[in-house]
Amino acid sequence: MKIVDARVIVTCPGRNFVTLKIVTDEGVTGVGDATLNGRELAVASYLRDHVVPLLIGRDPHRIEDTWQYLFQGAYWRRGPVTMSAIAAVDTALWDILGKVAGLPVYQLLGGRSREGVTVYGHANGETVEEVLSEVARYVDLGYRAVRLQCGVPGLDSTYGVSGDKMFYEPARGTLPEVNVWSTEKYLSFAPTLFARAREEFGPDLKLLHDVHHRLTPIEAARLGKSLEPYALYWMEDPVPADLQEGFRLIREHTTTPIAVGEVFNSIWDCADLIRDQLIDFIRTTVVHAGGITHLRRIFDLAALHQVRSGSHGATDLSPVCMAAALHVDISIPNFGLQEYMRHTDATDEVFPHGYHYADGYLFPSEEPGLGVDIDEEAAARYPYQQAYLPVNRLEDGTVHPW
Ligand code: KDG
Ligand code: MG
């Protein structure tokens, strides 16, 4: 079997997605997500101009060899653009392999380790009351875990808090929006939200919070300590992810579990964090961390060090990524939690998929391969629209330096 074609499809059914579709001489096809929010066309060009020509004529069964060939061969290693492009190829090859074998991809990864994939949703609102009523909505839908984000009194807008419910779209506009940030206001307000949530929903519901990299290590340590009475399942991205040493300081001061990794793109971004047990959850995912092959490598290292997975699953990761993530989640021993932001109806129309949600769990498709595809005719009806992620400024106008 040989690869005869690889198409890069850019579509915007509510938000931009980049998808690679690989076609073989036997007519078997595979899909991979290559979406990098706010920088989509860079990955599309990387694929079209530099990767697709290398794929034509290759044997699609050689997944590991293709991964190494693209990674080592580029010379310029790592980075979100390169790793998203490699991820798309890798994911599409696993999809093809599953179809050839007649098995869902999770069976090729070692089979089921659990019955369903526990997911968390996003409850966000401008006020505590609004957030709590969103949490109640998720609880009614059967969710066992919810991430809470609230507007900070005195600040006009906060990253991660939007009018969108059930899905989440931080990128918009032909220029980045500006959010204003105050660490002092945030730190003094955050515990109030979780005190109320515990009061209202009791001890069993898993409560999560995303700091979006806004704090210094000592500030994050203070936040973690102040949230200890409310037993969070995790505190996410407390400090900028590139400052690995900072996590040691947080760890020395608080028992609030730490999750990080959505902007990581390789095992080298988190090897020290995992080996030194400075984190509890690694949140890398298929599309930004080199595909199923590399994500498995990261999660296997994590398993050796009692670190669990918690893959990123925001709306800007396409249903192709979600489908692939679920095959990994259901099969690995050290699964923790999967983020699940739903997609719009238009996105679901462009990406028909067989995974489904029931009672707090997602279930991967049982079809051969990943169980997801792209409807190219539908995709063509939604042309690319430029959109940027927002920028944070402090109250005096300084661009937030981390
Ligand atoms: O594109 C950026 C989003 O994916 C990010 O803001 C979402 O932090 C996020 C999360 O945890 O889902
Ligand atoms: Mg996050």
Other C-beta atoms closer than 10 Å to the C-beta of 350 total 28
Q: Does 157 have pLDDT greater than 90?
A: no
Contacts of residue 58, defined as CB under 8 A and 6 or more positions apart, other chains included, come to 2, 3, 66
CA distances in angstroms from 29 to 20, 93, 373, listed in the order given: 10, 9, 9
Lowest-pLDDT range of 109-113, 166-170, 324-328, 396-400 = 166-170
Residue with the smallest CA separation from ligand 1 atom 7 is 314
Angle 187-193-199 (CA atoms, 0-180°, nearest 5)?
A: 140
The residue among 198, 196, 192, 283 whose CA lies nearest residue 235 is: 283
Q: Which two tokens stand for residue 234?
A: 């995790």
Pocket lining: 37 vs ligand 1, CB cutoff 6 Å: yes
- What is the per-residue pLDDT for 165? 76
Residue 162 has pLDDT above 90, yes or no: no
**How far apart are the CA of 4 and the centre of ligand 1, in A?**
35
Least confidently predicted of 24-28, 48-52, 160-164, 285-289: 160-164
Q: Is the pLDDT of residue 216 over 90?
A: yes
Confidence check: pLDDT of 392 > 90 = yes
Ligand 1 pocket, 149 CB below 6 A? no
Query: Would you say residue 164 has pLDDT above 80?
Result: no
Average pLDDT, stretch 303-328? 98
Which residues on neighbouring strands pair with residue 167, listed in sequence order?
none
- 212 included as an active-site residue: yes
336 lines ligand 1 (CB under 6 A): no
pLDDT over 90 (residue 144): yes
159 in catalytic set: yes
Q: What is the pLDDT of residue 160?
A: 78
Give yes or no for residue 373 CB within 6 A of ligand 1.
no
Q: Tokens 């007519």 — which residue?
A: 27
List pLDDT tens digits, range 222-272.
999 999 999 999 999 999 988 899 999 999 999 999 999 999 999 999 999
Query: Which pLDDT score, from 0 to 100, does residue 377 have?
Result: 98
Pocket test for ligand 1, best of 124, 262, 321, 340 (most atoms within 8 A of CB): 262
Q: What is the DSSP letter of 267?
A: G
Please report which confidence band the pLDDT of residue 122 belongs to, taking 50, 70 and 90 as the band edges: very high
Cβ–Cβ under 8 Å, residues 266 and 294: yes
The response to whether residue 33 sits with its C-beta less than 6 Å from ligand 1 reads no
| Position in ligand 1 atom list of the atom nearest CA 147 | 11
pLDDT at 364: 98
Residue 357 burial (CB count, 10 A): 17
- Look at residue 3 in the predicted model and tell me its pLDDT: 98
Distance 210 CA to ligand 2 centre (A): 6
| pLDDT-based confidence at residue 161 (cuts at 50, 70, 90) | confident
Give the amino acid at 199. Answer: E
Record the pTM: 0.97
Type of residue at 204: D
With tokens 């009523």, the residue in question is 133
What mean pLDDT, rounded, does the chain reach?
Answer: 96
Catalytic residue among 122, 209, 212, 353: 212
For strands 178-181 and 391-394, give the pairing.
parallel
What residues have their beta carbon closer than 5 A to ion ligand 2?
210, 262
- Name which residue sits closest to atom 2 of ligand 1, judged by CA: 37
Query: Over the stretch 125-138, which tens digit does the pLDDT of each residue have?
Result: 999 999 999 999 99
pLDDT of residue 166 exceeding 80: no
**pLDDT at position 173:** 87
Handedness of CA 3, 371, 105, 324 (dihedral sign): positive
